[in-house]
Amino acid sequence: MKKLLLIIDMQEGFKYHESEVILPNIVRLKKMFNGKTVFAKFTNKKGSLFESQLKWTKFQNEDDKKLFTELQSPGNIEFYHEGYTVLGKDLIKFIKDNRIGEVYICGVYTDVCVTKTAMDLFDNNIKAFVIEDACNSLHGKSYHDSAIETLKHILGKQQIISTDDACSR
């Protein structure tokens, strides 16, 4: 079964302590993962609900959208997303075209994009694993922990794994 490592929103605009503490595990996963790797990158278009409803204008410039330096590579496969889920038509097509059977998720925010994407993968009949020690919430540890507990119920406890587990599969 082919596998995909999906790295969510590890971008300069989300560079905070909470994202930096998981970066070593994500760098390790990028090197050691036995499968394809893709990056999901957030963009905030002018007139979006992020701007008009939440009054949030980050990610409307190129500097915010750049991957962390440690993750940049000329061969990276990148998909942009404009909402909470990263599972857009292009990424679904990539998964189907490459006959991916398992998606391993890491990045930020555990309580938002990671959870929404994991649920959307489930709803699309694609097996998802969340790499607990390679995810975090910029809202704080309690939000990350709560999201992980929720994911154990909606995906199954066996779908929440560690970096070591993901690297050894």
Which residues pair with residue 140 across a beta bridge?
none
**pLDDT tens-place values along the chain, 169 residues long:** 799 999 999 999 999 999 999 999 999 999 999 999 999 999 988 988 988 898 888 888 899 999 999 999 999 999 999 999 999 999 999 999 999 999 999 999 999 999 999 999 999 999 999 999 999 999 999 999 999 999 999 999 999 999 999 999 8
Rounded to whole angstroms, how far apart are CA atoms 112 and 117? 8
Count of Cβ atoms closer than 10 Å to residue 96 Cβ: 11
- pLDDT score of 110: 97
Rounded to whole angstroms, how far apart are CA atoms 64 and 48? 16
- pLDDT score of 56: 80
Residue 35: exposure state from Cβ atoms within 10 A (0-12, 13-18, ≥19): middle
- pLDDT score of 51: 83
Domains within the chain, CATH numbers bracketed:
2-168 (3.40.50.850)
- pLDDT score of 52: 86
